[in-house]
Amino acid sequence: MGEHHYLVVSDLHLADIEDHTDGWKRHKSSAWVYDEELDRMVASFEARLAPDDHLTFVLNGDILDFDLVTAVPDPAPFPVRPIEHRYGLDATAAKSAWKLGRILDDHPRFVATLARLVARGHDVVVTIGNHDRELWFPEVQAVLRERVEAACPAAPDARGRLLVEPWFFHVAGEIYVEHGHQYDFYSSFRYNLEPIVRRRGEEHIALSTGNLSNRYLLSNIGFFNPHATDFILGAFGYIRHWLRHYAFSRRMLILTWLVGSLRALIALFGTRARLERHPPADYGRHVRAAAERYGLEVATAEALYALRKEPITSRFYKIVREFWIDRLLLALLMTAGTVALALSGAALWVKLVVPLIAFPLTWFVYAWIAGNENALNVEHRAHLFALEIARLLPVRAVVFGHTHAPAVMPLAQGVSFANSGTWAPTWDAALSPLSGLRNYVHVRVGPEGRASGHAPPGSHSVEVGSWLPLRADGAA
């Protein structure tokens, strides 16, 4: 009996390719396509396998970024609303299937990699994240399977080797893999396993706050990289950004942000209202089905599901703060107060002290009270949820993605938590890939390591690594 190898990657954020000479949407340019590197990495792990070993390639969520696709077919085989021409197609079965086809057209090497694996008898598992939640539609999954099968016609038994999981992938005594967005209330879905609402008589994915932010904001503020944190700036940083990219061009930053925020909020509250009026019928059947697939007690599956965080839609203030509406209102109030003071009969010292000292002090006090909890620091708590999962399931490794922060740490004797980081394009000031990216998790479990309880040394291993090579000068 050979070893079981699990190669896990997440957050590839594959999208259609756009090339612009001025750097607009650089994160989608052909210069940052890494499909060949991914293929070489997978091939290197295949080459290490002994004859009796088995490889499972786990694509752990946000592999395909539907939110970044703003292209529209011409002519379109379905009705397209004017707003979709600006922000991309709605998340319906037919339109999501078209978007997936568009992405895969631009990434044939990625399809070929999956086809080679299944043709050689290995397994490919796709766990759906928040940015590829549109894979929930069976019609969209069918597109992925058809493309992979078409790329390996000589392997008729490959059909059953591509598994799409809406929640988690689990092998008893060995590994538990989940994308991890459900532990982040900015990206969690109220009904993750049936994430739909009906609008105009058609099923739509009930997009989370994070999805809507990308669709209506970041995808239209193209000089920011949505895969990095360079869009988190201070007031003076945004002024410099505007002067550099927008002041002398036809593109607009402030209006795009304002209109996009309002549209995202309207969509967010509309989705919440629809879900409250028409929640899924017998939603628990999805949890019971997951328990049956993996041979778990229903109570165990329910306990796993109960670990999720409720989405931000139940916290109005957090929504307002996430879209910077609170700071906009505060700035407008301070501006109006300054004008009112200037026009009033107040003493000159009051007109000067209040705008120059009192208002800035109020701003900093408000920022201190509001705190710094945001969508980016969820990574600091991920291991706590992994620990709860490890207490419910006897495994050697619990693996998440989502945060783009690669990590590995022990949870208990013989049990580790790992995060599979990201392959999404992120660069430094010289437009070189940042070090520590293009990550993977490799979990190896030998026959002795599959039993519950203490495992002998060397019976399993959990490794987090990077496929990003060193440059000739020795830097990453």
- With contact defined as beta carbons under 8 Å apart, do 79 and 147 qualify? no
Give me the DSSP letters along 441-474.
Answer: EEEEE-GGGGSSS---TTSEEEEEEE-PPPPTTS
β-pairing, 175-178 with 168-171? antiparallel
Domain ranges of the chain: 4-315+392-466, 324-370
pLDDT band at 473 (very low <50, low <70, confident <90, very high): very low
Give pLDDT, residue 452: 60
Span 372-379, average pLDDT:
60
Give pLDDT, residue 474: 45
- Percentage of residues in the chain having pLDDT higher than 70: 92
Integer distance in angstroms from the first to the last C-alpha of the chain?
A: 39
Nearest Cα to Cα of residue 193 among 210, 205, 175: 205
β-pairing, 415-419 with 397-400? parallel
Tell me: pLDDT of 217 over 90.
no
| Rounded Cα distance, 421 and 424, in Å | 9
Q: Residue 461: is it exposed, middle or buried by C-beta count within 10 angstroms (0-12/13-18/19+)? A: middle
Give pLDDT, residue 155: 64
List all residues 6 or more positions away from 471 whose beta carbon is below 8 Å from its beta carbon: 432
The region of weakest confidence among 84-98, 243-257, 272-286, 410-424 is: 243-257
Mean pLDDT rounded to a whole number for the chain: 88
Q: How open is the CA angle 122-123-125, to the nearest 5 degrees?
A: 155
List all residues 6 or more positions away from 351 whose beta carbon is below 8 Å from its beta carbon: 341, 342, 344
Tell me: pLDDT of 475 over 60.
no
Give pLDDT, residue 455: 66
pLDDT band at 8 (very low <50, low <70, confident <90, very high): very high
| Rounded Cα distance, 15 and 99, in Å | 9
| Rounded Cα distance, 160 and 95, in Å | 26
The region of weakest confidence among 9-23, 100-114, 239-253, 288-302 is: 239-253
pLDDT band at 472 (very low <50, low <70, confident <90, very high): very low
Return the axis-axis angle of helices 254-277 and 325-343, rounded to nearest 10°: 130
Tell me: pLDDT of 476 over 60.
no
pLDDT band at 371 (very low <50, low <70, confident <90, very high): low
- With contact defined as beta carbons under 8 Å apart, do 103 and 141 qualify? no
Span 228-235, average pLDDT:
70
Cα 178 to Cα 93, 140, 396, 417, 460: the distances in Å are 23, 20, 14, 12, 20
Tell me: pLDDT of 218 over 50.
yes
pLDDT band at 457 (very low <50, low <70, confident <90, very high): low
Give pLDDT, residue 386: 92
Neighbours of 429 (CB within 10 A): 5
| Rounded Cα distance, 10 and 89, in Å | 24
pLDDT band at 241 (very low <50, low <70, confident <90, very high): confident
Place of tokens 């705008």: 355
Cα 311 to Cα 65, 67, 306, 318, 327: the distances in Å are 20, 18, 13, 10, 22
Tell me: pLDDT of 248 over 90.
no
Encode burial over 182-203: b for 16+ CB neighbours within 10 A, e otherwise.
Answer: bbbbbbbbbebbbbbbeeeeeb
What are the residues facing 154 on neighbouring strands?
Answer: none
Q: What are phi and psi of 379, to 5 degrees?
A: -60, -25
Question: How do residues 62-86 score in pLDDT, each as one tens digit?
Answer: 999 999 999 999 999 999 999 999 9
Q: What are phi and psi of 7, to 5 degrees?
A: -105, 115
Tell me: pLDDT of 456 over 70.
no
Question: How do residues 105-131 score in pLDDT, each as one tens digit?
Answer: 999 999 999 999 999 999 999 999 999
Cα 31 to Cα 112, 154, 352, 427: the distances in Å are 20, 33, 52, 12
